[in-house]
Amino acid sequence: MENIENDDIKTEIVNLSATLNLPKGTEAFISDIHGNNDKYLNIIRSGAGNISRKVSELFNGRLTTLNQKRLVCLIYYPEEVLQENENIENKDDMQQWYMDTINSMVEVLKYVSNKYPREIVERALDCKYQGIAKELLFGDLQAEDKKAYYREMVKSLVNLKMSDDFIIVLCHAIQKLAIERIHILGDLYDRGSRPDLIIKHLNESWQNFDFEWGNHDVLWMGSLAGSKLCMLNLIRISARYHNLKLLKDAYDIDLTSMIKFATNRYVPLPNFEAKIGRNDLTDEQKNIDNCVQQAAAIMQFKLEGQAIKRRPEFKMDDQLLLDKLSLDKNSITINDKVYKIEHGCFQSVNPAKPYQITHSEQVVIIDLINQFTHSTKLNEHMWFMLDNGSMYLKHNGNLLFHGCVPVDEAGNLLKLKIDGQEYAGKDLFDYFEFILKDGMRHPTTGDCFNSDLIWYLWAGKISPLFGKDKMATFERYFINDSKLQEEHLNPFFKLCRKEQFADKMLKEFGLNGRGHIIVGHTPSSKVEPIMADKKVVLVNGMSEPKSDSKIGGYTLLFDSYGMRLETLRPFTSRKQSIAEMSDVVLDKQIIEHSSERKTIADTDYGRKIKEQIEKLSAQL
Ligand SMILES: O=P(O)(O)OC[C@H]1O[C@](O)(COP(=O)(O)O)[C@@H](O)[C@@H]1O
Ligand SMILES: [Mn+2]
């Protein structure tokens, strides 16, 4: 008996020791997806550019560039591309195409899977075709004695009309194996229409991923925790980007009370026109978006005023603006200067009590927050974000978070004083993580401490997720003054150009200077994507590109040879990507390269394996 046990332990040690010598898996870092499911899938299905690179390594000199492109496009979008085959009329041509394609596909799959232990490769294959796929994948296709056997296998797949399904299984396996782990550096939610589908995809089809929460994600998590402020911001942004439908379709939140209230009390105004790049909306849809945005904005400003007054420690008094409106509400006095109000909509603001919510506003807010806190699907998705996420992550020596470590101009950590206790740097991140988790575990719709702090994460001066001195929502809606509308970035971003500062930040989180700080949030138009002698990398890859933008953002890949930042091609639609067979990557910059491959032994996972080996050895 003892011997059998010892043998099992020894086998396990052999397997684990062997795993340590495999090359390190490829990590992909993406950020600011903002609900753009198609663009997200375009990146994921392409292995963040990894697949086309592998195909060219494998087929250069054997396939023309055009045929490589065709193969790559098929791997990304097999469902759509295979449909085009219906146009091939000649049966022999068709058979030949399938045989060539399956063979090439198996080659690519072999190539991307050679980093993994067999068990992981098997897991990436759909069970329906696992037997055949394994035979083709792990067998020696060139062995003379078996050539006919393999040829017949592929031929039968074609004859039995199983080949489309089989190709799809191989393509999905290639996609999965091209990236070992995805880091999502925040802002999965808001602006785009289908964040729910991204969550669904990760939940159902991906194994290794993590979220570093963004300020927009916090609005959704905070709403589930009962924060009315988070919810009003969320609804305002949803209306601003014509996404109110998402709330009903994905989360079963009925906005009837809000829409009725808003369309009765407000008339459409130019400053509340939805920000969408299309003009196929009916007048009714436009009016709803416009009026709901106004109603939510006014409720938001009122409740924000109450929170700011309730929490003097937030030091946000400069954002109390409703009480600075003139009696006729056509102008506002800020720092002794009078500004004209453009297209005001303050009919529900009582000059005597500007932050007081009216009875009918209250009725709408209560209806909505009850629905948010009771939505089963929202509950499921936000817990998925909570369980798989954190405020920051230390992974393989790198530090990942969404925004910044709040500092002053001199680079000293800014302290947030709450309840007599000061939090700064890593402690500040840890504190907010505790509050967010606590808030979600104990949801309440009252004006509680957790809710206020969660809202602070969205818009507070010393919020690591926001990273700006103020959110100028009011000014941007109503005051035509570019100075007042400015939101200044925390000095962190400027200081990040200095290596010494980056080292100091890494040290604050217990990491050494060999690591990198990898962040999302800030568009590359504001901050360079590579700073501090390549120690700080910005991967804001997904914010909607402006219509004239020549790039579609950045993603970072970290494989066994090093790190490279990929500049993405602007993404318009899935249909167009397929039609043009366009690849995701426009350009790449090497951040780090070593001719000696990193192995699993060099990673955090490797460290865990070594610990396990030690434990097992002790049992022998
Ligand atoms: O693009 P919009 O909807 O006008 O939003 C602008 C607001 O979004 C923010 O940029 C925050 O969003 P990000 O985290 O995506 O930057 C605010 O600072 C700003 O006030
Ligand atoms: Mn952000």
For residue 520, how far is its CA from the centre of ligand 2 (angstroms)? 7
CA distance 188 to 272: 24
CA distance 270 to 250: 29
Contact between 151 and 157 (Cβ < 8 Å): no
Judge if 251 and 309 occupy the same domain.
yes
For residue 471, how far is its CA from the centre of ligand 2 (angstroms)? 12
Atom index in ligand 1 nearest the CA of residue 240 equals: 3
Judge if 14 and 140 occupy the same domain.
no
Q: Given ligand 1 and candidates 404, 476, 478, which is best to mutate, with the most ligand atoms within 8 Å of its CB?
A: 476
The burial of 67, by beta-carbon neighbours within 10 Å (0-12 exposed, 13-18 middle, 19 or more buried), is given as middle
Judge if 123 and 56 occupy the same domain.
yes
Please name which of 374, 378, 370 lies closest in space to residue 250, comparing C-alpha atoms.
378
Please name which of 109, 97, 114 lies closest in space to residue 133, comparing C-alpha atoms.
109
- End-to-end CA distance of the chain: give it in Å, rounded: 13
Question: 616: which strand partners?
Answer: none
Listed in sequence order, the residues at least 6 apart from 607 whose beta carbon sits closer than 8 Å to its beta carbon are: none
Atom index in ligand 1 nearest the CA of residue 471 equals: 20
Domain boundary at 485, 520, 541, which?
A: 485
Judge if 156 and 232 occupy the same domain.
no
CA 36 to mean position of chain CA atoms? 9
SS3 87: helix
Judge if 6 and 74 occupy the same domain.
no
CA distance 531 to 298: 40
Contact between 505 and 517 (Cβ < 8 Å): yes
Listed in sequence order, the residues at least 6 apart from 351 whose beta carbon sits closer than 8 Å to its beta carbon are: 325, 327, 329
The total number of structural domains in the chain stands at 3
Judge if 171 and 263 occupy the same domain.
no
Residue 396 lies in a domain: no
pLDDT the model gives residue 543: 57
Is 469 touching ligand 1 by the criterion CB < 6 Å?
no
Listed in sequence order, the residues at least 6 apart from 186 whose beta carbon sits closer than 8 Å to its beta carbon are: 31, 32, 211, 212, 213, 214, 215, 216, 217, 401, 402, 403, 465, 520, 521
Judge if 248 and 338 occupy the same domain.
yes
For residue 28, how far is its CA from the centre of ligand 2 (angstroms)? 19
Domain boundary at 178, 198, 224, which?
A: 178
pLDDT the model gives residue 154: 80
Domain ranges, residue 431: 209-377+405-485
pLDDT the model gives residue 475: 98
Is 613 touching ligand 1 by the criterion CB < 6 Å?
no
pLDDT the model gives residue 582: 81
Judge if 272 and 226 occupy the same domain.
yes
Judge if 325 and 455 occupy the same domain.
yes
HSE-CB for 586 with a 13 A CA cutoff? 13
Residue 121 lies in a domain: yes
CA distance 198 to 219: 17
Contact between 161 and 91 (Cβ < 8 Å): no
User: Alpha carbon of 561 to those of 27, 373, 414, 597: distances in Å?
Assistant: 12, 46, 37, 5
For residue 402, how far is its CA from the centre of ligand 2 (angstroms)? 7
Residue 496 lies in a domain: no
Q: What is the DSSP letter of 62?
A: T
Is 215 touching ligand 1 by the criterion CB < 6 Å?
yes
Work out the number of other CB atoms within 10 angstroms of the CB of residue 62: 10
The burial of 85, by beta-carbon neighbours within 10 Å (0-12 exposed, 13-18 middle, 19 or more buried), is given as middle
Judge if 166 and 236 occupy the same domain.
no
397 token code pair? 């020596």
Residue 588 lies in a domain: no
Place of tokens 């993603």: 555
Is 290 touching ligand 1 by the criterion CB < 6 Å?
no
The residue nearest atom 18 of ligand 1, judged by CA position, is 471
30 token code pair? 């993406």
Query: Looking at the predicted complex, does its ipTM rise above 0.85?
Result: yes
pLDDT the model gives residue 93: 76
Question: 212: which strand partners?
Answer: 390
For residue 67, how far is its CA from the centre of ligand 1 (angstroms)? 42
Please name which of 209, 41, 204 lies closest in space to residue 574, comparing C-alpha atoms.
41
Q: Per-block average pLDDT, block size 10, for the chain (620 residues)? A: 78 93 94 93 91 93 93 94 77 82 92 88 82 82 75 83 90 93 96 95 92 98 98 98 96 98 97 86 94 98 97 96 95 96 97 97 98 98 98 98 97 96 98 97 94 97 97 97 96 96 97 94 86 91 59 90 91 87 85 90 95 93
For residue 111, how far is its CA from the centre of ligand 2 (angstroms)? 37
Work out the number of other CB atoms within 10 angstroms of the CB of residue 413: 20
Residue 475 CA: which ligand is closest?
A: 1
CA distance 147 to 169: 23
For the CA atoms of 132, 133, 139, 144, the dihedral, rounded to the nearest 10 degrees, stands at: 60
Question: 417: which strand partners?
Answer: 422
Contact between 598 and 560 (Cβ < 8 Å): yes
Is 521 touching ligand 1 by the criterion CB < 6 Å?
yes
419 token code pair? 């309840």
Domain boundary at 456, 485, 514, which?
A: 485
SS3 208: coil
Residue 116 lies in a domain: yes
For residue 466, how far is its CA from the centre of ligand 1 (angstroms)? 9
